[in-house]
Amino acid sequence: MKKLYFFIVLMLGFCFNINAQWELQYTGFVNTLHGVIFESSSGVGIAVGEQGRILKTDDGGYFWWSVNLTIGTFFKPVKYAGTGTMMTGGYLGYMARSTNGGDSWSQISSPTTMQINGISFVDANTGFITGYSGLLMKTVNGGLNWTISWLPYTMLDIHMFNATTGIVCGSGGNILKTTDGGATWTPRYTNPPLSFDLNGMAFLNASTGMIVGNSGTILKTTNAGNTWRLADTNHLTYNSLFRVSYPAANRITCVGGAGTILTSTDGGNTWTQQYAGTSAILYAVHFRDENNGCAVGESGVIITTTNGGAVFVNPISSEVPDKYSLKQNYPNPFNPVTKIKFDIKKNELVTLKVFDILGKEVVTLVNNRLQPGTYETSFDGTREKSGVYFYRLQTENYSETKKMILVK
């Protein structure tokens, strides 16, 4: 006789919206956004982008309003430069600063006309900027004055651990490190060597960090950027990845072209693809903790998550199945949403993935440790083409694949 396994409280704990990985926010603004940042202790955030657009939110990214700034350029990075102070920069070297948490902004004098790509402040006074053609700028008085030096490559992002030590990454797979406040820079090499542009980086602490780049490139260091190794993403995407957020040891998320979102919950050892709900290019992402995140991109797209982007499945039976099984999706053919039901016999890690006819992974629907029971989740093919798809259930002791057809 099958026995009851779940208690009611456990059932309630698992019954979440199965369709909510990332939620699209409708702001009314259509300017492409290139940068986003949030306070770690609140829902206050800033997004910046083209035509001088600066948006602010105070509720985690659900409602945004425009902060008036009469600079007709585009801003790319935005970073904190001390408590309550933020700085952004972009095309033709334009820079703007806020000293009241983003409520108002003023243009500040810039010594360059080169595009600004990366900003990193270590305190209210000391900051660094990278840009096109090897531009490197440093300030020791909060951005009132800057000194310029030049690196041999265009650098696309910068992270300073402190006033003396930092990393830059950029064109042609180049990574440089300084230990003397930017006076000299030493090449750091990847394994294997790369030639793809490296677009963005994030560090968990002074030792561990990630770099992302073109062709789905993800690199990891565990020795403060001295050496880097290529992460194995199982060829989830060849789209360019533009930015990465690393808020906790068990949460890394990177974003890129065609609505690509890749995430790791084990420090970058394994990766899954999440459903963004959009095919727009995502240029920036920021998590203020391991669950609450926001990504921005093309045509003013803003998406948010409060659960790390995970898809939750509904347990629909409290009985322990006699065996594993993967049911045929229903309806089938479908347009654009179909449901998938499966049985799990033991408490173990379960993945449910969808692949296209060429075997390329489309999305990971489930990547959780599940208790024994019967579950149901959904696949939304809104942004996919008509055709044959396969979905595969994988556990430690079982694997099964079935076919489904999307007809639009």
pLDDT in tens, 158-180: 999 999 999 999 999 999 999 99
Q: Are residues 243 and 360 in the same domain?
A: no
In a domain, 112, yes or no: yes
Structural domain ending residue among the three candidates 271, 305, 339:
305
Q: Extract the tokens encoding 297.
A: 């991109």
In a domain, 301, yes or no: yes
Checking phi first, is residue 61 left (phi over 0); if not, alpha (psi -120 to 50) or beta? left
- Cβ atoms < 10 Å from Cβ of 223: 11
Residue 18 banded pLDDT, cuts 50, 70, 90 = very low
In a domain, 264, yes or no: yes
Domain containing 173 equals 23-305
For the ranges 37-46, 177-186, 311-320, 363-372, the lowest mean pLDDT is seen at 311-320
In a domain, 3, yes or no: no
Give which of 93, 99, 60, 59 is closest to 74, Cα–Cα.
Answer: 93
Q: Are residues 274 and 394 in the same domain?
A: no
Q: Are residues 244 and 293 in the same domain?
A: yes
224, pLDDT greater than 90: yes
Q: Are residues 59 and 175 in the same domain?
A: yes
Rounded average pLDDT over 218-245: 93
In a domain, 371, yes or no: yes
Task: Tally the domains of the chain.
Answer: 2
For the ranges 137-146, 198-207, 217-226, 302-311, the lowest mean pLDDT is seen at 302-311
Q: Are residues 320 and 290 in the same domain?
A: no
Q: Which tens digits make up the pLDDT trace of 362-394?
A: 888 887 778 899 999 988 887 789 999 999 999
Q: Which tens digits make up the pLDDT trace of 66-110?
A: 997 767 678 999 998 877 899 999 999 999 999 999 999 999 999
In CATH, what number is assigned to the domain containing residue 382? 2.60.40.1930
9, pLDDT greater than 70: no
DSSP for 149-176, written as a single string: EE-SS-EEEEEESSSS-EEEEEGGG-EE
User: What pTM does this model have?
Assistant: 0.79
Q: Are residues 105 and 214 in the same domain?
A: yes
Residue 321, CA distances (Å) to 16, 268, 308 in order:
22, 33, 30
Structural domain ending residue among the three candidates 305, 328, 357:
305
Structural domain ending residue among the three candidates 305, 323, 344:
305
Q: Are residues 173 and 84 in the same domain?
A: yes
Residue 127, CA distances (Å) to 79, 88, 177, 205 in order:
10, 12, 16, 18
In a domain, 2, yes or no: no
Q: Are residues 194 and 287 in the same domain?
A: yes
In a domain, 1, yes or no: no
Chain mean position to CA 235: 17
Q: What is the percent of the chain with per-residue pLDDT over 90, rounded to a whole number? A: 70
Q: Are residues 369 and 230 in the same domain?
A: no
Q: How many CA atoms lie within 13 A of 80 on its CB side?
A: 13
Q: Are residues 249 and 377 in the same domain?
A: no
Report the mean per-residue pLDDT for the chain: 89
Q: Are residues 324 and 354 in the same domain?
A: yes
Q: Are residues 266 and 328 in the same domain?
A: no
The Cα–Cα gap between 52 and 105 comes to 11
Give which of 132, 179, 173 is closest to 151, Cα–Cα.
Answer: 132
In CATH, what number is assigned to the domain containing residue 196? 2.130.10.10
